[in-house]
Amino acid sequence: MTYLDHAATTPMLPEAVEAMTAELGRLGNPSSLHSAGRRARRVVEESREIIADVFDARPSEVIFTGGGTEADNLAVKGIYWARRAADPARTRVLVGAVEHHAVLDAAQWLADHQGARVEHIPVDSLGRVDPDVVREMIGPSGGADIALITVMWANNEVGTVQPVAELAALAREHDIPFHTDAVQAAAQLPVSFAGSGVHSLALSGHKLGGPLGVGVLLLAKGIDPVPVLHGGGQERDVRSGTLDTPAIAGLAAAVQAAAAQREEHARRLTALRDRLIACVLDAVPDAVLNGDPVNRLPGNAHLSFPGCEGDALLMLLDARGIACSTGSACSAGVAQPSHVLLAMGASPERARGSLRFSLGHTSTEDDVTALAEAIGPVVERARRAGLS
């Protein structure tokens, strides 16, 4: 199979497989006080230190979760609840219009059930948030009624990288917590928690070569969200639940390995991505590249194909052994145009006729060649089917 869907999930790195496999054969609950528990706790804390070091955070700022979705929900809901408890007037939540549904739907739930006033931050035609627009949305009150602002580091569909540090500085200027979903950025871009100035940041293991079912919320000192889960009080009393020691060990190994390879990895993926885009546009001259052509994820190529349905293209490519997606894997199978492209000003037809090709650590020139040979005939066939 030619796998061009690394943004949905990427194969585990060998270092992560080795670390997780070794830990699966060992015993110990990291909350237990006996020697087996203390041994497991040592693995967890050493992993916490590795992750903190790579992402420029303090170990105490690393909160383990069950994945990126949980991390986003904990930040968005928990910070909203905490801020509103301190001041009932803080009901506004500013949310990027092109966020992952883990953020969008969490915010909408707050609107439907908790009295939040959710306002979507618009983007330009490249999918980029303008800090001046956010400044205007904060308004003359200086954000006294805002619970939090959340804008992702890099878009999971079109790959556009946001000016996160500038947005976080603006939020700090008005004493507003700023959350960012860095799930897609962490494996391919230098992500610094302290350097960016954000208050909370979500990561997911399986997007950067670690295992499924484990993630991290980086949470600055002084930011104390109301927990979504209650129980044993693990993880700073912010996220209860028995820690998955094998998954955490695998995550730490993946983070360390990905960081060591990041610069070379990004250079290689950028070259592969640019060749992929050129090959597709050569085969389908009227295809349109979506997202920022410069400030985008190294491994992301998102294109629209006029006169085609994205689902039809996906299935035709799959029949040829090529795996890609029409957008977020979490929304796969949902028969509606991409909210990301609609927010960027695309027509519903263009939004429905788009594909995301995403590259990762196992991607090769052969993968690009396979797509280059297939995409022209596939688009032609999809267009004929649409006319019949």
User: Residue 364 corresponds to which tokens in the numbers above?
Assistant: 């090769």
Alpha helices in the chain (DSSP H): 14-24, 35-54, 68-86, 101-113, 131-138, 164-173, 193-196, 245-283, 310-319, 339-343, 348-352, 365-387
Mean of pLDDT values over 226-247:
96
How many of the other CB atoms lie within 10 Å of CB of 157?
27
Q: Are 145 and 174 in contact (CB under 8 A)?
A: no
334 — pLDDT class (breaks 50, 70, 90): low
Q: Which CATH class is domain 14-257?
A: alpha beta
What's the topology of domain 2-9+262-387? Aspartate Aminotransferase, domain 1 (3.90.1150)
How much of the chain, in percent, has pLDDT values that exceed 90?
A: 96
Cα 165 from Cα 67, distance rounded (Å): 24
Mean pLDDT of 118-132: 98
- Better-predicted residue by pLDDT, 110 or 388: 110
Average pLDDT over residues 325-354: 83
| Extents of the domains making up the chain | 2-9+262-387, 14-257
CA gap 349, 304 in Å, rounded: 9
Per residue in 264-319, pLDDT (tens digit) is 999 999 999 999 999 999 999 999 999 999 999 999 999 999 999 999 999 999 99
Given its phi and psi angles, is residue 143 left (phi above 0), alpha (psi -120 to 50 degrees) or beta? left
Q: Residue 332: is its pLDDT beyond 80?
A: no
Give the mean pLDDT of the chain: 96
pLDDT band at 167 (very low <50, low <70, confident <90, very high): very high
Higher pLDDT, 283 or 386: 283
The residues near 154 (Cβ < 8 Å, ≥ 6 apart) are 160, 161, 162, 182, 184, 185, 188, 189, 296, 297
Cα dihedral 274, 277, 282, 283 sign: positive
User: 388 pLDDT exceeds 80?
Assistant: no
Span 125-140, mean pLDDT?
Answer: 97
Residues carrying an active site annotation: 330
pLDDT at position 239 = 97
Taking the complete model, does pTM exceed 0.85, yes or no?
yes
pLDDT at residue 336, as a whole number:
79
> Residue 349 pairs with which residues in a beta bridge?
none
Q: Identify the band that residue 141 occupies on the pLDDT scale cut at 50, 70 and 90.
A: confident
**Nearest CA-CA partner of 201 in 58, 83, 340:** 58
Instruction: Read off the pLDDT band of 385 (50, 70, 90).
Output: confident
| pLDDT at 335 > cutoff 80 | no
Is the pLDDT at 128 greater than 70? The verdict is: yes
| Identical fold between 2-9+262-387 and 14-257 | no
Question: What is the model's pLDDT at position 387?
Answer: 67
